Amino acid sequence: MKIELSSVSVTYEEGMPSATRALSGVDLTLVEGECVAVVGPAGSGKTTLLEVIAGLTRPSSGRIAGSPDGSAASLRTSVGLVHQFPEAQFFEETVFEDVAFGPNRQGLEPAEVRDRVSAALTRAGLPPEEFGERAPLSLSAGEKRRGAIAAILALGRPFLLLDEPTAGLDPATRRRVADLIENEVATGRGVAIVTHDLALAAELASRTIVMSEGSILADRGTASVFCDDALLGRIGLEPPPRYALVCRLRRENPAMAEEIGRLLGAPLAEPGA
C-alpha cells in the first residue's frame, strides 16, 4: 500500500483577509516499510502536511490517493498521527485505559483490545504489568511520551506519522523513542517523522523531504540531502559536525566515508547501498 499526494495545496481561512497558504502544490509518495524524515524551518508546513496525510485537514486543492479509496475516511483508518507533545492529551485514569481508548472505538472484541494494548505498551518499553494500572500523570516525562506513542501504535495502522517525537526529551529517552520508531519501520510500517533533530533523521530515515514556505524543496536520499550544503543553507539547517565531516569525506572517498561514519555513529549510507 502507498499514499500519494498530487499537487496538494492547503490554505487556512481561505477567502478571509487572514488567509494563510500552508502548502503549495505538494507531490509526495509514502510507502510501507520506509521511514521518511520531513525537515524545514518553523512555519514551512510540516505539521499541516502530516495532518493532510492523516485525513484531518482537507486539501484546498489537489488529490490524495491511498488505500482503499483515497477518501479522508479511509486515510484516517490507514494512518496513525502522533501529535507534537502527545502526552498533553492523556485523559483516562490508567495508562491501560488510555491506550485502549482508540481500539475500543474501533469496535474490537475486548480480548483483542487487551492484546493490542499489551503489545503496544510492550513495544513502547512500558511493560503492561508494570505500567498498565499507573495513572498517566504519574509517569515520568519520557514514560508519558512513550505511553502516548503506544496509544497510536495500538490502532494498528499501516502508516505512522510523528510530529517532533523527540522534542524536549533527555538523551536516554530520545534513544528509546528512536529505537521504538526503528522497530516499527522494521515491522513494515510506513513512517514519516517531522523533526528538527537532524541526527535523528540521519539515523532513521532513508529519505528526507526538505520543506520551505509550503513547498517541497527536495525529496531525496537522506545522505544526499545532508551533504548538500547549499540546500541546507537555504533553510538555515546545519548537519551535526560529525555528519558534516562524513559528507566531506564522501566526496573524496565514499568507501572510507562509510567506514568512518559507522565508527563515529554517524552512518550516512544511500538507500539500498
**Which span (46-54, 131-139, 171-179, 241-249) binds Mg ion, by CB under 5 A?**
46-54
Buried b (16+ CB within 10 A) or exposed e, 132-163: bebebeebeebbbbbbbbbbbbbbbbbbbbbb
By the rule CB under 6 A, 240 interacts with ligand ATP: no
- Rounded to whole angstroms, the Cα distance separating 175 from 177 reads 5
Give me the DSSP letters along 39-69.
E--TTSSHHHHHHHHTTSS--SEEEEE-TTT
By the rule CB under 6 A, 157 interacts with ligand ATP: no
**Shortest distance in whole angstroms from residue 47 CB to Mg ion:** 3
By the rule CB under 6 A, 208 interacts with ligand ATP: no
Give whole-number Cα distances, 26 to 62, 63, 113, 210, 229, in Å. 8, 10, 37, 12, 23
By the rule CB under 6 A, 125 interacts with ligand ATP: no
Task: Give residues 11-50 in contact with ligand ATP (rule: CB under 6 A).
Answer: 12-13, 20, 22, 40, 42-48
Residue that is written with C-alpha cell 524543496 in the block? 217
**Shortest distance in whole angstroms from residue 15 CB to ligand ATP:** 13
By the rule CB under 5 A, 44 interacts with Mg ion: no
Q: Please tell me the count of residues contacting ligand ATP according to CB under 6 A.
A: 12
- Rounded to whole angstroms, the Cα distance separating 241 from 219 reads 22
**Which span (47-55, 65-73, 131-139, 219-227) binds Mg ion, by CB under 5 A?**
47-55
**Shortest distance in whole angstroms from residue 46 CB to Mg ion:** 5
Residue 197 one-letter amino acid: D
- Rounded to whole angstroms, the Cα distance separating 270 from 145 reads 31
Q: Which does 101 bind (CB under 5 to 8 A by kind): ligand ATP, Mg ion, none?
A: none
H helices of 106-140, in order, are: 110-123, 128-131
Q: Which does 109 bind (CB under 5 to 8 A by kind): Mg ion, ligand ATP, none?
A: none
- Rounded to whole angstroms, the Cα distance separating 97 from 154 reads 12
Nearest CA-CA partner of 35 in 227, 169, 179:
179
**Cβ nearer to ligand ATP, comparing 45 with 165:** 45
**Shortest distance in whole angstroms from residue 116 CB to ligand ATP:** 30
**Cβ nearer to ligand ATP, comparing 47 with 173:** 47
Residues at the site binding ligand ATP, with contacts judged by CB under 6 A: 12-13, 20, 22, 40, 42-48
Residues at the site binding Mg ion, with contacts judged by CB under 5 A: 46-47
